[in-house]
């Protein structure tokens, strides 16, 4: 696997693949890779001739009080994992390479969709995400790009940005990968102590409860989120619930009643670690 640190070299590599008529599947990541990321690499390998991954902890998508500096960086292990899954090239630029020494003035932003869920609590986060993804699309020039459903709102916003700006890239969103006890995989799970790791199960347990209530006929989001809140605080009494919401799968607007497909999403802080999870119900 080639490790590429400059935009110029990345362009040369991708141009060569393009000239050879190869299809390129792109897996953008912030590193600290786990089985969730690996499922994206495997999907990309199955659907394309070449897989290009990126590892870039993007400063513009972190708020001033968020975990940019302490975000886990595990480059050697990331390389091993990617190599093992048959990733062809890894783009690993520095922040200076991506944004220039003098910084960047241009933003790609999406209206409305960030006004829900995580966007309410992380202002400017999604504008950082869409900007860096647009840059990656222009540098890597992939046929398809792979994102995880765990970041549900992100996947909807990236789909929309890609369509609205006519990027010739197919967006593929892959299912959440979970530990055997149900915890959604996340690079931030590394922050959890043993006790917090147990308490973190409160997220998935509450989603399972909501699914069960829904399957038994409960279509009222207010009832579902109320039951979920009780469930979370039962399992993790000190948890700080940032939001629990039942939203439309495309507009992300809160639903008053569930008809057709809906997404139940939540963000909960366990100790000092902010975790998110969701399920799609239909």
Q: Which helix (H) or strand (E) holds 46?
A: helix 35-47
Among residues 134, 177, 228, 266, the one that binds a copy of itself under rule CB under 8 A: 134
**Residue 107 binds a copy of itself, judged by CB under 8 A:** yes
- Of 62-70, 78-86, 103-111, 253-261, which part binds a copy of itself (CB under 8 A)? 103-111
Among residues 164, 181, 226, 253, the one that binds a copy of itself under rule CB under 8 A: 164
- Write the DSSP symbol of residue 245: E
Active site residue 34: no
**Residue 149 binds a copy of itself, judged by CB under 8 A:** no
- Residue 274: which of 242, 236, 247 has the closest Cα? 242
Which residue number, 60 or 225, has a Cβ lying nearer to a copy of itself?
60
Give, in order, the Cα–Cα distances in Å from 67 to each of 25, 59, 81, 89, 143: 29, 10, 24, 27, 32
**Residue 89 binds a copy of itself, judged by CB under 8 A:** no
Q: Give the binding-site size for a copy of itself (rule: CB under 8 A).
A: 28
Tell the residue number behind the tokens 């989120």, with chain if given: 225
Write phi, then psi, for 96 (nearest 5 degrees).
-65, -40
In sequence order, what are the beta bridge partners of 146?
172
Which residue number, 7 or 213, has a Cβ lying nearer to a copy of itself?
7
Among residues 20, 64, 168, 216, the one that binds a copy of itself under rule CB under 8 A: 168
Among residues 32, 161, 173, 247, the one that binds a copy of itself under rule CB under 8 A: 161
> How many other C-beta atoms lie within 10 A of the C-beta of residue 257?
10
Which residue number, 69 or 166, has a Cβ lying nearer to a copy of itself?
166
Which residue number, 139 or 183, has a Cβ lying nearer to a copy of itself?
139
- Of 49-57, 84-92, 164-172, 205-213, which part binds a copy of itself (CB under 8 A)? 164-172
Tokens of 8: 């110029």
Among residues 5, 83, 86, 104, the one that binds a copy of itself under rule CB under 8 A: 104
Q: Which helix (H) or strand (E) holds 162?
A: helix 152-164
**Residue 130 binds a copy of itself, judged by CB under 8 A:** yes
Which residue number, 156 or 244, has a Cβ lying nearer to a copy of itself?
156
**Residue 56 binds a copy of itself, judged by CB under 8 A:** no
Pairwise CA distance, residues 29 & 64, whole Å: 21
Which position among 34, 37, 116, 143 bears the catalytic label?
37
Pairwise CA distance, residues 225 & 123, whole Å: 24
**Residue 20 binds a copy of itself, judged by CB under 8 A:** no
> How many other C-beta atoms lie within 10 A of the C-beta of residue 82?
25
- What is the full DSSP assignment across 195-209? HHHHHTHHHHHHHHH
Which residue number, 55 or 258, has a Cβ lying nearer to a copy of itself?
55
User: What's the order of all strands across the beta sheet hosting 2-4?
Assistant: 2-4, 89-91, 50-55, 24-29, 144-148, 170-174
The residue ranges that bind a copy of itself (CB under 8 A) are 7, 11, 100, 104-113, 130-131, 134-135, 138-139, 141, 160-161, 163-168
Q: Which residues are catalytic?
A: 37
């Amino acid at each position: 696997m080639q490790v590429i640190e400059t935009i110029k070299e990345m362009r040369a590599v991708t141009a060569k693949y393009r000239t050879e008529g190869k299809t390129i599947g792109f897996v953008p990541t912030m590193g600290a890779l786990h089985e969730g990321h690996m499922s994206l690499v495997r999907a990309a390998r199955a659907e394309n001739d070449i897989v290009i991954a990126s590892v870039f902890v993007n400063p513009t998508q972190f708020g001033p009080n968020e975990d940019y500096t302490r975000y886990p960086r595990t480059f050697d292990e990331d390389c091993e994992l990617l190599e093992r899954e048959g990733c062809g090239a890894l783009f690993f630029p520095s922040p200076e390479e991506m944004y220039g020494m003098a910084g960047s003035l241009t933003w790609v932003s999406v209206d409305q969709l960030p006004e829900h869920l995580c966007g309410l609590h992380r202002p400017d986060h999604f504008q950082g995400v869409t900007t860096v993804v647009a840059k990656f699309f222009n540098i890597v020039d992939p046929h398809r790009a792979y994102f995880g459903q765990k970041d549900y709102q992100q996947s909807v916003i990236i789909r929309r940005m890609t369509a609205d700006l006519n990027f010739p890239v197919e967006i593929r969103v892959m299912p959440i990968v979970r530990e055997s006890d149900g915890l959604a995989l996340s690079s931030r799970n590394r922050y959890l102590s043993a006790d917090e790791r147990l308490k973190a199960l409160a997220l998935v347990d509450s989603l399972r409860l909501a699914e069960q209530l829904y399957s038994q006929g409960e279509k009222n989001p207010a009832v579902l989120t109320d039951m979920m809140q009780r469930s979370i605080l039962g399992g993790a009494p000190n948890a700080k619930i940032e939001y629990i919401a039942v939203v439309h799968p495309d507009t992300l607007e809160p639903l008053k009643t569930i008809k057709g497909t809906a997404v139940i999403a939540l963000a909960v802080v366990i100790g000092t670690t902010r975790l998110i999870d969701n399920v799609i119900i239909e």
